[in-house]
Amino acid sequence: MAISTVATAPELAAPRRPATAGRTLWRFVRKKPLGAAGALIMLVIIVTAVFANLVATHDPLATNAAHTLARPSAEYWLGTDNLGRDIYSRIVHGARVSLIVGLASTLLGSALGGVIGLLSGYAGGKVDLATQRVLDILQGLPLLVLALVMSAALGPSISNVVIAISVPIIPRAARVVRSSVLSIREMQYVEAARGLGLSHLRIAFRHVLPNTVGPFIVLCTAQLGSAILVEAALSFLGLGVPEPYPSWGRMLSISAAEYAHKAPHLVMFPGLAISLAVFGSNLLGDALRDTLDPRLRGA
Amino acid sequence: MKSYVAQRLAVALLTLLGMSLVIFLLLRLAPGDIVDILFSAAGYVDPQDKKAIMQELGMNRPYWVQYLEWIRGIVTGDLGKSYRYELPTWQLIRPLLPVTLELAALAIVIAVLLGVPTGVVSAIRQDSGLDYVLRVLSLAGLSMPSFWLAMVIILSLVAWFDWIPPMTYVGPSQNLRLHLLQFLLPALAVGYRSSALIMRITRSALLEVLREDYIRTARAKGQTPGLVVWRHALKNAMLPVVTVIGIEFAFMIGGLVVTETVFNLPGVARFLVQAIQWRDYPMVQNLVMFISIVVILSNLAVDLLYGVLDPRVRYGH
């Protein structure tokens, strides 16, 4: 998604599309090696998640009493857990859960927040002021605490975890979109649209919204990492994705801590998987921010 | 300045009131209550008994009465009784506060000590190998779940020193050295993450300031590079850094939820998780309220510090 966005930037959408896209990609790799590394990491994780059934070597849910807490070996690449389940296969399938929850909650929260920010920034005045105060309240609560209370309130299920993680993202997304709307609103072409007698909603969604896409994409990549982290923390505390889905966070939970001394691989590998996914999205997010939104460079 | 402080305080109070409403309503959304949980062990629920307990805990009153009662309690200092422990909430929360505050303070000190100098070095040596290494390290810090880092720290202690920190709380009066060690490890795990953020902000703020004219003037006057950075540039670069420190302090409490669980420390955050699982509304409400107050206060402190650091702010708004 990320790379195609770069490639279809208006000035690059030249007639000779395939060659241009390839060249743009190459330029991105050369100019932003860290960002390209992030994109590669994300690509690997996405492919793993999509083809989890092919990539995994065992059934992630199958227990095996004969091989509990096995060390990494040729048979069990990353060892087995206390129930004899293959950790490698669980991490591979866990990528699905982490990515689905991370992407869905980021998109949901950013979309809702984006619309709120768009309308609030475009309307201005009292509506804007009131919206900002409400967002202050939501943003004042630490992300994890809000998600914790939300997921406890909604009960454990994948869709509820998505909602719980997306709510704290709303105020952050609204802020970002609002601040770019504030400057776009004053542009002459918006005035021209108004002069043509277009309705406010049409101007807001058709003429203002497309110009906030840059900061919006940057925001989404940045939030993806923290959404994955929050999911891990919630699952670790037993308030996240329920059994039987293998989740990276739950693999680290209390039962793993109990066996940690006997089998450190129980703790190491799921944590590395989380860190790698978040690291990848952070690297990519940084590079995209520099490319798409020069005003935020280095912020 | 005085009216500015007053205005900020008023906004902070209103925000807190809003937060209390959000927390209250969120908890009432939750399916199931403590009575269900208490009875689920017994298997059978006598509706009569259930009603009696609801009556005793005051849970059958309309929500708005319960809410107003809670707010009145906060104002008058009577926080109500915990459903689960049948003890005054305040009595249960008070011993938790020093643990969490000490942990957060230690973590933020570590974060600043690690983050500001590395950010400065990274900015001065922009685009050097060292800059790249520091930036990747800080990004790695932002990517690791702090509770996992805490577990890894424990594991490596076991592997290298065959020692783990005590898994039961050691008070400072019992054994100060052990107490500090016990707190230092989780603080390190949480602080590393925040230091990454502080490093990035320090770096970018300093880079921006170093391009300003007055810095060129200072250099032209022949001042040593060290003096230019530490005395002229850093002071102006500190504004965004202070903001992040304030925000991080507030959000650290959130990060502590899991870290306290890993290290088995009796703090606010760990207790919050238990209280949520038990649907112990008075406890959850008051604990989240406490966290909100810390957040609001540290935001307020940041706002007021602005006025001190940057005289322009005082006359602005």
3-state secondary structure chain A: CHHHHHHCCHHHCCCCHHHHHHHHHHHHHHHCHHHHHHHHHHHHHHHHHHCHHHHCCCCCCCCCHHHCCCCCCCCCCCCECCCCCEHHHHHHHHHHHHHHHHHHHHHHHHHHHHHHHHHHHHHCHHHHHHHHHHHHHHHHCCHHHHHHHHHHHHCCCHHHHHHHHHHHHHHHHHHHHHHHHHHHCCCHHHHHHHHCCCCHHHHHHHHHHHHHHHHHHHHHHHHHHHHHHHHHHHHHCCCCCCCCCCCHHHHCCHHHHHHCCCCCHHHHHHHHHHHHHHHHHHHHHHHHHHHHCHHHCCC
The closest of B113, B143, B155, B154 to B265, measured between CA atoms, is B154
- The distance between the two most distant Cα atoms of chain A, rounded to a whole number of Å, is 77
Residues contacting B202, CB < 8 A, separation 6+: B115, B116, B118, B119, B120, B122, B123, B237, B241
Residue B246: pLDDT band by 50, 70, 90 thresholds? confident
Measure CB to CB from residue B148 to each of A145, A238, A271 and give the nearest one.
A271
The C-alpha of B121 sits at a distance from chain A's nearest C-alpha, in angstroms, of 15
Q: Taking the CA atoms of B64, B68, B71 and B73 in sequence, report the sign of the dihedral they define.
A: negative
Please write the tens of the pLDDT for every residue from B197-240. 899 889 988 988 888 888 888 888 888 888 888 888 888 888 88
| A interface test, pick of B22, B148, B302 with most A CB neighbours within 10 Å | B148
Whether the pLDDT of residue B317 is over 60: the answer is no
Task: Output the average pLDDT for chain A.
Answer: 82
Whether the pLDDT of residue B85 is over 60: the answer is yes
Inspect the interface and report whether the beta carbons of B262 and A257 lie closer than 8 Å: yes
* Structural contact between residues A65 and A199, judged by C-beta atoms closer than 8 angstroms: no
A119-134 burial, b if ≥16 CB within 10 A, otherwise e? bbbbeeeeebeebbeb
Gyration radius of chain A over CA positions: 22
Please write the tens of the pLDDT for every residue from A11-48. 444 454 555 778 878 887 888 888 889 999 999 999 99
Query: How many other CB atoms are found less than 10 A from the CB of residue A31?
Result: 12
Percent of chain A clearing pLDDT 70 (strictly above)? 90
> Following DSSP, what letter does each residue of B34-47 receive, concatenated?
HHHHHHHTTS---H
Residue type, A293: D
* Structural contact between residues A249 and A234, judged by C-beta atoms closer than 8 angstroms: yes
Instruction: In whole angstroms, give the CA distance from residue A234 to residue A236.
Output: 5
The C-alpha of A298 sits at a distance from chain B's nearest C-alpha, in angstroms, of 5
Query: How many other CB atoms are found less than 10 A from the CB of residue A17?
Result: 12
Mean pLDDT of the A160-173 span: 90
Inspect the interface and report whether the beta carbons of A145 and B253 lie closer than 8 Å: yes
Highest mean pLDDT pick, A81-90, A116-125, B250-259:
A116-125
> Following DSSP, what letter does each residue of B99-138 receive, concatenated?
HHHHHHHHHHHHHHHHHHHHHHHHHHTTTSHHHHHHHHHH
Instruction: In whole angstroms, give the CA distance from residue B205 to residue A265.
Output: 40
Angle in degrees, CA A41, A166, A118, rounded to 5: 100
Tokens found for residue B27 = 């908890």
Model ipTM value: 0.82
The closest of B145, B131, B238 to A252, measured between CA atoms, is B145
Gyration radius of chain B over CA positions: 24
Contact with chain A for residue B31, Cβ under 8 A: yes
User: Is 0.90 surpassed by the pTM of this model?
Assistant: no
Is B42 exposed, middle or buried, given 0-12, 13-18 or 19+ CB atoms closer than 10 A? exposed
User: Which residue from A minimizes the CA distance to B259?
Assistant: A233
Residue at token pair 């280095």: A298
* Structural contact between residues B256 and B104, judged by C-beta atoms closer than 8 angstroms: yes
- Chain A residue numbers with beta carbons less than 8 Å from the beta carbon of B151 are 252, 257, 260, 267, 271
* Structural contact between residues B199 and B118, judged by C-beta atoms closer than 8 angstroms: yes
Contact with chain A for residue B272, Cβ under 8 A: yes
pLDDT for A239 equals 82
Mean pLDDT of the B166-194 span: 84
Residue A5: pLDDT band by 50, 70, 90 thresholds? very low
* Structural contact between residues B78 and B89, judged by C-beta atoms closer than 8 angstroms: no
Highest mean pLDDT pick, A101-115, A170-184, A205-219:
A101-115
